[in-house]
Structure 1
């Protein structure tokens, strides 16, 4: 539960926007400062036919027509900085950055004193991720002529390098020097504070930008950020859940943990009361970190088979950290289970989870180790104490602004037990869909198949056990009043086994209430 809250928090941190640095760099046209370059003390004679015609097409933004003309001019005069510079501008406009870098570097090499060219070279280096190279060129350009936009770019570079304090100082300085840069400055200061978790400061900068230039592209991006911030602010650091359901089960099966195989099958029906309670607390730390703490309690009480009553307690710790679109978490959980009011099972679980989120999609890879310590283990080959190892991959497609999803996942697990009868390799595939039918009603459908191939010949049944278990589940959830939901659930299970005692089917229907505070 803590993990799901953190991942949704991370999705909210990514509004639908085109706010990458390259986008804003490309908005700053090269051509206005072209006159600066032409006015420098250049004594080269350009090839007028090809060069003049190529420049005409370049100024008209007919790039495909300009390219062959300027290349022909370059072939005749490779040492002419006017031509190499024009080609650098052309290829930057065409977003062919490798060629743009080539010709800007050639221009600087031909005449190192043309330091204005370094300004443009630095922009392309910045767009291609060469931050140290870009910073060097901006420093050289600043020696010739100080421009506020250079100070701004240097701030952006320090931001990319992780020196946020220096970045903020430089970007603020650029805005103070040139008021025309204020919209861009306010936007970038908002983004930097947002990415560092300073949501209050970020919102103030975004609002300032909107007031300065409400119809700009940057203002539209700022509105998307403000929407995301307000959604995050509406989330509490803590959450409590209460749930109760009444269930009819036509075949009571003892299966105390999700990973365990069925231990005992009654082939008889019963009514079951299920109670659960949970408390989650989350707190941000560092720049993009979050730590979640949780406790959960669940209990199942049977009307007839009271010796199958189960009560479980678990404590969870979940540190997590964002790296842009990447999210990594490390879950630790301690669990204690009672069976028939007596201590039954202790477990420790560690699970690192790695997620990549892009827009409405998320890919996930997970590992898990679980130590199972039975309080009163069976003797010999029936001893189930041991460790379970699990590796999985999952894909999520979020629907309707994250209110619904489609999920596909696969897990492989290996159970090493002290007793030979319970060692197995497992393969599990699952699909689940959550669809918001209306503002009040959600519908979910899920199914999974689990193949368990046991290692050894069973000491009692003289056969290598091989099970395939299928589950299908449907849920209708109705928002009754604020924070209170009513659930109707149906679950069907079919277990195929070459060992007759473990071959079974069951149906379960439950009606319940869930309250979130």
Structure 2
């Protein structure tokens, strides 16, 4: 006990000796210390008074200036904060935290380029300063320097679980803006894996979908392949001849391929060419085996929010390896992005039809159509509908007019499933009386379909199940029929 008392008295004696010397060296130091204590306790008025007294004794002390600037920063008096912080940095730029505080000052006053410079210096000064990295990224992003910002967000996210999801989310935004789409998707996937980023996961999913759609739009080519097995309860020659039905059921193998390539692509225009091929092989009814080759030359002019398009499609069809139909289609169209949810498409098609085995059906057709697409539930579903009118001019008996309607919905379901339900109605009225039945023919056709699809490997390989029902009613009974089709296909797209 005596040793402890001796130590205390000795310490007090030394302190009493040192205080006058210390006061002679810098009489403002004590006020500075009192100011720091008040600042840390959140008593900014008291802190300001103490720092003002300290600066009065020594106006060129960078530490006094620094803390006075920090105090004004806390009380949002940014002009005074800049005065004192700038003075401090001119006297001693190496004071720990000074670069960070200068960055925060310019961030608060929305001078993001200057703020970014100081936060970058602060991050270099202290590699473990997570907030310096985060704010460096945030201000670089706000200053439109997303390329450099992304790295700081990633570093902050890696160093702090608290910042994790938020940092990766902003990094994803930056990589997306810099058009580094693959890395952007990786960042958003990290957000989805972060248990502390529940509020950001839905937005991350939306960005992944949007980026993939943009990647697809920017890719100069696309490929699609569909191979499936189909049960058909009443084999017909749809889509080129719905009147020819067999009244027999059969299984068939269906192959469909399409590809296109943008030959010339600028900021506001696209010009390209494509090819599609359709093939069906019936197990028994070989006379209904259909082959179709469709070429496509297209051009688009993007005049936001409107896109003007034109396509020319020469095609040729074979029935059981015999030539059946030669067709040329010319289609100008207008697509209008009305708002973020609603898109409209208007088109006109002129078709020149040459039936090689039936001259009575050879002629031409004019068709106008309007279609609408409406996104719902944050893009998880969309409604679509359409209305069209066709005037087909051929021989006396084969000329007709037809109204087409369409209504459907596509919905994203759990387990990465997509369901599409649609219905079509066709009202077909022939211009003249049938030569055999001696009466004008009027048909009503109803088509309902449901499909369910899912990706099975990454984003390019999928499986597709389709069910459809068709009923054709006619005032000439021989043209009435029903059919059901069930198809299971493997799809590949790139």
TM-score (norm. length: structure 1): 0.55
User: Please, which runs of 5 or more residues in structure 1 have no aligned partner?
Assistant: 1-178, 184-202
Q: Cα offset for 1:263?
A: 2.8
2:443 corresponds to: 467
Shift of 1:309: 0.7
Query: Paired residue for 1:270, among 231, 245, 250?
Result: 250
Task: Report how far residue 225 of structure 1 moved.
Answer: 7.5
Match of 1:491? 468
1:350-379 CA distances to partner (integer Å, 9 max, x unpaired)? 11111111212101111111110112224x
What is the alpha-carbon distance in structure 1 between the residues aligned to residue 225 and residue 147 of structure 2? 44
2:432 is the counterpart of 1:449: no
| Distance in 2, Cα, partners of 1:401 & 1:255 | 36
Q: What's the offset of the Cα at 1:223?
A: 5.8
RCO comparison, higher one (Cα < 8 Å, 6+): 1
Measured in 2, the distance between the counterparts of 1:461 and 1:205 equals: 77
Alignment correspondent of 2:363: 386
Quote the Cα distance in structure 2 between the aligned partners of 1:211 and 1:512: 45
**CA offset at residue 182 of structure 1?**
7.2
Equivalent position of 2:319 in the other structure: 339
Secondary structure at 1:501 match in 2: helix
Does the Cα contact within 8 Å between 1:440 and 1:480 map onto a contact in 2? no
Q: Secondary structure at the match of 1:206?
A: coil
Q: Aligned pair 1:252/2:228, yes or no?
A: no
Cross-structure match for 1:59: none
Matched, 1:477 2:453: yes
Tell whether the 8 Å contact from 1:240 to 1:280 is kept in structure 2 after alignment.
yes
Q: State how far apart, in whole Å, the 1-side matches of 2:298 and 2:258 are.
A: 15
Partner of 1:422, secondary structure, is: coil
Matches within 5 A, 1:41-60: none
Query: For residues 349 and 207 of structure 1, what CA distance do their matches in structure 2 show?
Result: 48
Structure 1 residues 442, 457: CA separation in 2 closer, same or farther (over 3 Å shift)? same
CA distance in 2, matches of 1:228, 1:385: 50
Any conservation in 2 of the 1:206–1:223 contact (CA below 8 Å)?
no
Alpha-carbon distance between aligned partners in 2 of 1:282 and 1:204, rounded to the nearest angstrom:
34
Distance 1:288 1:439, change over 3 A: farther
What residue number does 1:356 align with? Answer: 336
Aligned partners of 1:399 and 1:451: how far apart in 2? 30
Alignment partner of 1:280: what SS? strand
Describe the SS at the equivalent of 1:304: coil
For 1:81-480, list aligned pairs within 5 A: 206-207=144-145, 226=177, 230=181, 231=211, 232-233=214-215, 235-257=218-240, 260=241, 262-283=242-263, 285-357=265-337, 358-378=339-359, 383-399=360-376, 402=379, 404-417=381-394, 419-438=395-414, 440-480=416-456
Deviations 1:198-247 (A, max 9, x none): xxxxx9983259969x9xxxx99x86972888433465322222211111
Separation (CA, whole Å) in 2 of partners of 1:233 and 1:269: 43
Distance 2:466 2:321 in 1: 27
C-alpha distance in 1 between matches for 2:380 and 2:269:
24
Partner of 2:429: helix, strand, or coil?
A: strand
CA 1:343/1:304 → structure 2, altered by over 3 Å: closer, same or farther? Answer: same
1:496 CA displacement? 0.4
Superposed CA deviations along residues 251-300 of structure 1, whole A, max 9, x for unmatched, are: 1112342xx5x232221111111011121212553431122321111111
Deviation at 1:399, TM superposition (A): 3.7
Partner Cα separation in structure 1 for residue 289 and residue 335 of structure 2: 37
2:361 aligned counterpart, secondary structure: coil
Secondary structure in 1 matching 2:234: coil
Structure 2: state its 5+ residue gaps. 1-109, 115-140, 154-169, 182-210
Secondary structure of the 1:307 match is helix
CA contact (8 A) 2:113 2:143 kept: no
Secondary structure at 1:263 match in 2: strand
Whether the aligned pair in 2 keeps the contact of 1:206 and 1:226 (CA below 8 Å) is: no
Change (3 A) 1:283 1:435: farther
Taking the aligned partners of 2:491 and 2:147, their CA distance within structure 1 comes to: 43
Instruction: Say if 2:488 is the partner of 1:511.
Output: yes
Q: Secondary structure at the match of 1:268?
A: coil
State which drifts further: 340-349 or 237-246.
237-246
Paired positions, count: 309
Residue 438 of structure 2 aligns to a residue whose secondary structure is coil
